[in-house]
Each structure stands twice: as structure tokens, then as C-alpha cells.
């Protein structure tokens, strides 16, 4: 079945450091890929998405490129801020009933 | 409405009682999903509605869980004879076309079974 694997957290960085959170997937067909973010005490928010191979999703300085050859969708940001501290979820939308399949989430902690 | 609305935001119930959780999706969104987020766990899919029908109920953990959707809009998730392991945040999401536009989540209902 479809699945998403994310790197274990927490990821601890200093402000202005470079961020990478790895995400790989297993899927039949051609899923859409998403990153969601959950700030402390809040609900899930869509951060970015990509619907086909080689697409790059971007938002708020975050980027991720849909790599079909490596079945990956790694999240990157060039310079993190304290306000980026949150849990980040990688997800795919399967081609059947389109339900989202989530990774286990990666907690990011950014210190000043 | 402007977003996905869930109620109540918090619910504390005694073990063995029944609870109903409500989701009001974004107007016009035909697809509606229920997920569960337990402490220290990921997001667990429960059920998917397209209109008023539920073509995918594969995530419901037991027959104590049921859900319905009426008028292609509001959905209710019912848990009968609640158990402590049902304690979690129950999330609802809606979409017009999930693959193209993504999914909008509500803030969730935090259920605590004591």
C-alpha cells in the first residue's frame, strides 16, 4: 500500500541555519505530495504541494521538489526562524479515493 | 463558511458513554475526511465521504465508530461506549479536489475519556 517515511525528530537548529527534512514515499500511480505544518496548539495547515514529477512547491521560504526517480519530497529552507518551530508532516494523496497518507511527523525546534 | 469548523473543541466524557463530534466543511467542498491524531502517534485516516456516501470506511477502528454526512455538508462522527484508548484529537478536512488543491483541516476536537 501507499506509505510515507519521514526522518525522525526532533530536529534542533539555531536561527538562520539551513533546514532539510527528508521524506520518501511508496505509491502506485502518480500521487500528489504535500507538506503540512502544525504549530503548537494549532491545527494542520497546508505548507506547500506538488502535483507531478519535477514540480517544486514553495511557500514562506520553504521548498520541496517532487523527485519521482528517488521517490522523495524533501523539505528545505535556507534560513530558519524561531517562529518555524513546529511539527512538519509529509503526505501523499493517493490516486483512488484521494485520502491523504501521512508520515509520522518531524518536530523542528529553532533556538535564538 | 470560510474554514472547516469542528465542534466541540474539547470534550471530556466518562468511559462507556457515547459522543458525537461535528464537522462543518467549507461550502461547496464535496469531499470530507475524518482523521485521528493520538498523543505521540501520527495521523490515522478514519473515513472518507464523497457527497453523502462513504466509499472508504477502511480506517474506522471498530464497530463502535460510525459517521454520517447529510446534505453533502455537515458530518457527524459518533463513538459509542467510549474507551480510554479513544482519547485523541479528531480532525476533519474537506476538499474540492484534494490532488489539485489540497485539503483544509479544522482545528479538531480533543476527546478525553476518563
Say how many CB pairs under 8 Å bridge A and B.
61
Secondary structure in 3-state letters for chain B: CCCCEEECCEEEECCCCCEEEEEECCCCCCEEEEEEECCCCCEEEEEEEECCEEEECCCCCCCCEEEEECCCCCEEEEECCCCHHHCEEEEEEEECCHHHHCCEECCCEEEEEC
Arithmetic mean of pLDDT over chain B: 92
pLDDT at B1 over 70: no
A27/chain B closest Cα distance in angstroms: 14
pLDDT, tens digit, 9 for 90 and up, residues A48-103: 999 999 999 999 999 999 999 999 999 999 999 999 999 999 999 877 667 889 99
Put simply, whether A104 touches B (Cβ < 8 Å) is: yes
pLDDT at A13: 97
Query: Residue A34: its pLDDT value, please?
Result: 94
CA distance B47 to chain A (A): 9
Amino acid at each position: 500500500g501507499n506509505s510515507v517515511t519521514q526522518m525522525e525528530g526532533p530536529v534542533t537548529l539555531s536561527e538562520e541555519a539551513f533546514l532539510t527534512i527528508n521524506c520518501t514515499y511508496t505509491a502506485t500511480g502518480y500521487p500528489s505530495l504535500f507538506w503540512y505544518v502544525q504549530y503548537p496548539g494549532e491545527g494542520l495547515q497546508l505548507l506547500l504541494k506538488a502535483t507531478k514529477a519535477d514540480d517544486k512547491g514553495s511557500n514562506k521560504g520553504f521548498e520541496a521538489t517532487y523527485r519521482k526517480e528517488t521517490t522523495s519530497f524533501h523539505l528545505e529552507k535556507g534560513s530558519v526562524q524561531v517562529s518555524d518551530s513546529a511539527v512538519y508532516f509529509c503526505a501523499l494523496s493517493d490516486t483512488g479515493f484521494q485520502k491523504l497518507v501521512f508520515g509520522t511527523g518531524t518536530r523542528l525546534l529553532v533556538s535564538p | 463558511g470560510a474554514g472547516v469548523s469542528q465542534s466541540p473543541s474539547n470534550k471530556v466524557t466518562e468511559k462507556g458513554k457515547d459522543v458525537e463530534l461535528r464537522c462543518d466543511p467549507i461550502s461547496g467542498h464535496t469531499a470530507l475526511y475524518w482523521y485521528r491524531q493520538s498523543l505521540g502517534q501520527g495521523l490515522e485516516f478514519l473515513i472518507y465521504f464523497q457527497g453523502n456516501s462513504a466509499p472508504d470506511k477502511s480506517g474506522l477502528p471498530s464497530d463502535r465508530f460510525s459517521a454520517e454526512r447529510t446534505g453533502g455538508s455537515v458530518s457527524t462522527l459518533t463513538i459509542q461506549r467510549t474507551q480510554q484508548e479513544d482519547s485523541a484529537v479528531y480532525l476533519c478536512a474537506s476538499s474540492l479536489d484534494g490532488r489539485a488543491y489540497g485539503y483544509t483541516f479544522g482545528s479538531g476536537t480533543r476527546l478525553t475519556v476518563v
